[in-house]
């Protein structure tokens, strides 16, 4: 086990902030082909997970720019996360308001720590020799969040390795000799990869680090878990409270006021741990915003079924990207989120509509008085 500065510095230098699941420690893989440039943001900021683009590995950090595109066509269903039941899906407002009702019933939390386990992944172009193919770089994170702020918060992180994205990618990897190391980079006209970084396809060790009290951010303001638990439970009041942190956006967050609000409010249901009533207010707030649409019954990247809703994120480099959310209506909790190509353009021009770019799933969330494992 290493202390916070050493582990986190090494991880931050190895991977850009954009491809880290929001509010989790950095994922130590070099930069995939699908990112856009910008400033490195706080590791636990309320921002969208929107990988897109193709840039050199070590020199870049990323931006999430959300824009509403209510008239855009839905992408072709494609793999996990795609709609599996098209007949009479619930409207987005029905999904959000039902989730809000279930969230309101969520029992008050007790215990010294909030424990959250997540898995995340980013799709990257890799290769060996002249062969190129797609693989998913996965990681796991277990956070023991000190609710009082008087004790350190502990985060345990592990690389889970790389796996081929499709059967065709698996065949290409096997044809290349199933290499234990692959190169990450953008394919050149010759078919070979440009300058990139070598990365292992195998899982890595578990590493733990400690964090301080102000682990999260709303906009550009650091907040503690206590601050989050004191957020309003009334939707209009929550809107006002969130917009108090809006100072023009930029960097990793939208500059448009409404788009910024949608990005931050959606983070309260997927990434930032808030109480059930606060999460309910976030669902109700999102239900009032334009451009939010239903996906019907969907599955997350672990095959768990839920109701899905989505909105469109637009970036000049990558074109429209769809942010999808999978909700368990029985509990009002998010199972996960993912980003997919909506209409191929720019750096996603060679990808099919519905192609997966990145995902994050919540595997466990509970409170406890136990001592964090170190």
331 contacts 341 by C-beta, under 8 angstroms: no
Give the pLDDT band of residue 192 (cuts 50, 70, 90). low
Strands (E), the chain: 37-38, 61-62, 83-85, 113-128, 131-146, 153-164, 181-184, 197-200, 207-211, 216-218, 221-223, 293-299, 305-315, 319-328, 333-341, 356-368
Q: What percentage of the chain reaches a pLDDT higher than 90?
A: 41
Q: Where are the domains of the chain?
A: 4-368
pLDDT digits (tens, 9 = 90+) for 270-302: 888 888 999 999 999 999 999 999 999 999 999
pLDDT over 60 (residue 35):
no
Q: Looking at residue 221, what is its pLDDT?
A: 83
pLDDT digits (tens, 9 = 90+) for 95-108: 999 999 999 887 76
Mean pLDDT, the chain, as a whole number?
75
**Which span out of 27-41, 96-110, 235-249, 343-357 was modeled with the highest average pLDDT?**
235-249
| Tokens coding 154 | 């502990």
Residue 58 DSSP symbol:
T
Q: Looking at residue 37, what is its pLDDT?
A: 29
In the block, tokens 């062969």 appear at: 131
Q: Looking at residue 138, what is its pLDDT?
A: 95
Helices 235-243 and 257-270, packing angle to 10 deg: 110
Apex 337 CA angle, 335 and 339, nearest 5: 160
pLDDT over 60 (residue 269):
yes
pLDDT over 80 (residue 73):
no
**Which span out of 81-95, 168-182, 251-265 was modeled with the highest average pLDDT?**
168-182
Collapsing DSSP states into helix, strand and coil, what is residue 306?
A: strand
Q: What are phi and psi of 38, to 5 degrees?
A: 170, -170
Question: What are residue 30's DSSP bridge partners?
Answer: none
pTM of the predicted protein model: 0.74
């Amino acid at each position: 086990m290493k202390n916070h500065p050493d582990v986190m510095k090494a991880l931050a230098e190895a991977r850009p902030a954009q491809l880290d699941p929001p509010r989790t420690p950095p994922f130590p893989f070099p930069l995939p082909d699908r990112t856009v440039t910008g400033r490195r943001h706080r590791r636990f900021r309320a921002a969208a997970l929107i990988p897109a683009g193709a840039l050199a590995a070590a020199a870049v950090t990323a931006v999430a720019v959300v824009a509403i595109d209510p008239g855009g066509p839905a992408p072709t269903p494609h793999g996990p996360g795609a709609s599996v039941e098209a007949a009479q899906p619930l409207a987005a407002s029905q999904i959000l308001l039902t989730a809000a009702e279930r969230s309101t019933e969520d029992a008050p939390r007790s215990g010294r720590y909030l424990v959250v386990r997540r898995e995340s992944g980013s799709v990257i172009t890799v290769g060996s020799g002249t062969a190129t193919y797609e693989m998913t770089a996965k990681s796991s994170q277990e956070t023991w969040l000190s609710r009082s702020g008087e004790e350190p918060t502990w985060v345990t992180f592990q690389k889970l390795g790389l796996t081929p994205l499709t059967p065709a990618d698996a065949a290409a990897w096997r044809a290349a000799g199933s290499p234990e190391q692959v190169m990450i980079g953008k394919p050149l006209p010759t078919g070979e990869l440009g300058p990139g970084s070598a990365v292992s396809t195998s899982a890595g060790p578990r590493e733990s680090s400690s964090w301080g009290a102000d682990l999260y951010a709303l906009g550009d303001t650091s907040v503690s878990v206590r601050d989050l638990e004191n957020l309003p439970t009334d939707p209009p009041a929550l809107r006002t409270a969130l917009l108090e942190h809006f100072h023009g956006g930029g960097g990793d967050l939208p500059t448009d006021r409404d788009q910024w609000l949608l990005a931050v409010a959606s983070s309260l249901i997927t990434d930032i741990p808030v109480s059930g009533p606060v999460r309910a207010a976030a669902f109700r707030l999102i239900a009032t915003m334009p451009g939010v649409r239903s996906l019907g019954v969907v599955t997350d990247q672990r095959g768990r079924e839920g109701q899905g809703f989505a909105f469109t994120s637009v970036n000049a480099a990558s074109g429209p990207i769809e942010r999808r959310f999978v909700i368990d209506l029985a509990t009002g909790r998010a199972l996960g989120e993912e980003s997919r190509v909506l209409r191929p353009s720019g750096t996603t021009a060679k990808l099919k509509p519905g192609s997966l770019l990145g995902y994050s799933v919540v595997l466990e969330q509970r409170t406890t008085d136990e001592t964090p494992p170190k």
